[in-house]
Structure formats: structure tokens, C-alpha cells
Structure 1
Amino acid sequence: MDTHGLTAKESSALTRRVTLFSVSTAAILVALKLAVWLVSGSVALLASMADSGLDLIASLGTFFAVRYAVAPPDQEHRFGHGKAEAFASLMQAGLVFASAALIGREAIGDLIHPHPIANQGWAIGAMVVSILLTGLLIAAQGRVLRQTASVAVSGDRAHYAADLASNVIALLGIAATVWLGRGSLDAAAALVVAALLLWGAVGVFREASGQLMDRELPDEERARIVALMTADPRLTHVHQLRTRASGPFVHMQMHIDLDPQLTLEAAHQVIVAAEKRVLAAFPSADIIIHADPRGRAEPHGGAFAEVHHAEA
């Protein structure tokens, strides 16, 4: 989770803008595909329109989630509201599953009873516009993700990446139906769209569930935290390091060894300086540091008791 030195406020500003773009794009595509489907009857276009409709709902959920996630801690949520982003991603995954099921059912029915596509030019034009707008949105989301670690935007981008592939396939299916005169190709394209959506939903679900289950940060980022903490030779042996992501925030806690001869004031200064080094790299971090006297610490108990003192 590399935030590239962004604060929670800066990260929030980026995610707010890109989620507004996402909602606007989905709304435009739903209106366009609905109008063209009514005059063409393409089942592949219907599949794409249904997916765009669920995209709009999912994007609205993400739009509000990223705003709620940066709300400051309150009396009932002392660790903030960052996991609202992960819940929004789970909602996206559920909507994608539903979209795939509806599309698959419609496509199978059309395979059994195929029908010709009317106003093919409009249908093809709608898919081309859809591909262009979705591509622009994915590019914008990619730029935001290179600067933030928003799991909600990541899930939204994965969703729209699957949409981009599905739009291309739907376009190919419509074009093949028009050129070859076989209505079943349109329905076959819709089935491929459904399969792609299912695959994308699994990826979104895994990423969101990892954050909800408090999965550790990647090993390279944990190593970076340890390196920053131990840059001062008076502070050694970082152990029981625990990290988790919560929307735009990172929570970390750890035990460190200090020279037992240090005064309380000197020990405090060492710890504060170490905390500032970590915050410079992780501006949105919430850090808890427990100091142990080097060589004299007792094993730590509790629900997550220390199993091996050498753990980093």
C-alpha cells in the first residue's frame, strides 16, 4: 500500500473526483444503451446495458463510500470509517454476480430462440462510444491508484476493466451477427460477457475481503516500516509488528527494544522521532509503539500473545 506521501485529505480529494467521473460515465452509458437497445433489440447490447445499470449503482455506492471512509473517528468508531470502502467493493462484487446471472439467462434464451438485430449501425455505434468512455475512465482510475491505495477505486476499476472487455466482445458479437447473418453470435457474445463479469467479481471480492479480514500489508512495506523504525541505533528489534489497511488509512502497532538505561524522557524522544520517520512515508498511518527494556522484557500475553520473540 504505497500512498506516495499523500495525506488522507489529499487521497480523498483524488478519489472523490474519480468516483464522480465514474458515476457520470455510467449514467451516460445507461441512457445511451437503453435508447439504442429499444430500437435494435440486440441481446448483447441489452446485456451490456444491464451491466452498465449495475455499474451505475455500484459507482454511486463507491461515490458515497470514499466520502464516508475519510470521516474522522467518533465515539462509536475509534478506528475511523475506512472500511466503508471495502464494504462498497463487496457490494460491487455482489452486483456484478447478479449482472452476470441476468445476462447469462437472457443469452441462453436468445441462443434457443435467436432473433435478428434491427438498426445495427446504432447498436455498433453505441458500443464504440461505450468502449471509448470506459477506456478513459479506466485510465483516470489507474492514475489515481498510482497515488492512492483506495480499495473502493481499485474494485471499481477492476469492474470497469471487465466491462471494457465485455463491451469489446459485445461489439464483436453484434458486428459478426450483422455481417454473417447469424443471430446466435450475438447471444454467444453475451455469454462470454457474463463469464468475464463473474471472473472480475471474484477478484473484487478477494481484495475487499482481504481488507475486511485485516490482512497484513505486503512484506516489502512491513520491511520498510522496520527499517524506518530502526534507523536510530538506540532502537532495535522491532517485534510483534501488526499492520492492517482500512480504506485510506493504515493501522500499525509494534513492540521495540530500547536501552533500559535511557531516561523516560529520552526514551520518549527516541520513539517520537521513530514515529515521525514512519509518518513521513505513511502520512495516513495510525501508529502504536510499545517500548521494552532491551534484554529485560517479559513475554507478552493477551489474546494475541507473543509466540516467538524474534518475530519481526
Structure 2
Amino acid sequence: MDFRLTEDQRALRRGVRELLGRLFDREALREAVDTPVLDRGLWRELGDAGFFSLRLPEEEGGVGLGLPEAVLVFEEAGRVLLPGPLVATHLAAGAVPGAADGSVVVTSVDEGLVPWLDEADVVLGDVTGAVPVRSVDPLTPLHRVPGPGGAVGAGSLGPAGAPSVVPTRPALGGRLPATDGVLLTAAEQVGSAQATTDMAVSYARARSQFGQVVGGFQAVKHLCAGMLVRTELARAAVWAASVTGDAVEVAGAKLLADDAAVRNARDCLQVHGGMGFTWEADVHLHLKRAWVRAELRMPAARAEEAVAAGL
């Protein structure tokens, strides 16, 4: 099986990278950190660009692409730390009116946690008794649902708080949307792992110590090489799972992607040295987002059990 990207897929990735570079550059990221409120204008622009309707059939107003293309798009979103309940809104396109074009923000109960609850128009799952909890990531506000929490797609709470049933979109290509959500979250982690790898290499090339760039030291070379290997291994697993749709492969991809995102951010911090611990550096934002994503949509313990059962 050939897993190399087609020319159309490469063009899609380039286009999304250029779009996000225009809509959400580093200055916008830092502004979002200082004022953690969901940018509705940005959300609508993402909708207009087809971010949420990417996998809807063309006759339903979508782009008509598949899960492999969605993985490429979400990898780019993870690379720039694009905030908001992106996965939930994407999965709700076609089932929740307004989700596809970005006029409605959809979030969901996931592992007992609800990201961006106060900003969402529709919540998939039972959020009765949800209470705010302190999030390590300044760009992912969280609420916790007491007890086991609601299942994704079980119901919704609109702005007035009145519960109503929200139909879930049928499984795409025989896969459960929840499984797709795990893979798209893993894709975001891969994008973050790539970003911290690039940051570490760039800093190692520019920073001098003891009369030479720090990238010339063997210990730093090993850190950067390890980051590259983890990123490529996780990316290969995510891309392969997007093609096969196998649930066990999705679980394995999430494990590898979580590991790459968290460990790469930590190693990037080490390459930066003392600078990495400052608020001004972006390293901590990637590490904190990676920690949060690792606890959402199949954390390590459940992913390990899924892989073990499959083996």
C-alpha cells in the first residue's frame, strides 16, 4: 500500500498552512493566551474555508474529502495550536445545523471533561452538574462532569440550558465518529510534535554557547534526532490508521502521537535551556496543550488496553 501523499493532498496541506498562517499567526496566538475567549470571527472563517465541512458530501455543501485529508488539516491546526473544540465541531458537521459553516460552536463530553463549555452553542453529552476546573492549558478552558459523564452524541444543551436530542451522523466508511475523533486528536498531537521539533532545531542553530552554536553539541543533536524520530513514527501511524480505519491502529496511533507531543515539548524545553521556562517562549504552550489532549479522546490507559486486546 502506498502511503505517500498525492499532489492534491500536498496542495491541501500547503493551502491550510497558508490559511492558518494568515488567520492565526504567532501574534494571534499570544493575544489568545492573554484573552482566552473563542474568536467567533476566526471560527466562521474556518467554516467558510471548509475546515468543518471537509468530509461532508459535495451535494450537502461539503468538500467531499475523506479522513486522510482531515488528518492533514488537523495536523496543521495542531502545529499552530489553533484553539477551540475543533474536533467536536468537525464531527458534528452535517448533524448539527450551523456546525459545518462555523456559525455554531459544538463541544462534547469527553472522558468526563468538557472543553470550551461556556463558549459552545451545542454540547454533545450530558453536562448536568458540570463544574469548571483549572486547566493547565490557558487556551483550553475545561469543565468536569461528575460521575462517568455523558456519551458523545447522547444529547445537547443549548444556550438556554434546555436538553434536546441531537442526531449523530452515521459512521463514515464503517468507522464510528468517536474513533475518527481519536485519530483527529492524534493528528493535532503530531502537528504539535513537529512544531516543537522545528523550534528546537531553529534555536539550536541560532544559540551560541562556549564559542559555538549549541546544535553542535552531541547531547543537543541526540535530543533533536529523538524528536524527529518520534514525530515521524507517530505521523506514519496516524496516516496509516486514517487509510485503514482499523480501531486498534487508531488506538496505537493515539498512543504514539501523545508520546511524541509530550516528550518532544519536554525535549524542546531542554534545548532552549533557561529560556524555555519563560512565559515568553511558546514551548510551554505546546507542552500544556499536549498534556490536555493526552487526557481527551482515549487516554493512554484505554489506548493500551485496546491495543493489547487487539494483539
Q: TM above 0.5, one fold? A: no
Q: Taking structure 2 as the reference length, what is the TM-score of the superposition?
A: 0.25
Q: Taking structure 1 as the reference length, what is the TM-score of the superposition?
A: 0.25
Q: Which has the higher contact order (CA 8 A, sep 6+)?
A: 1
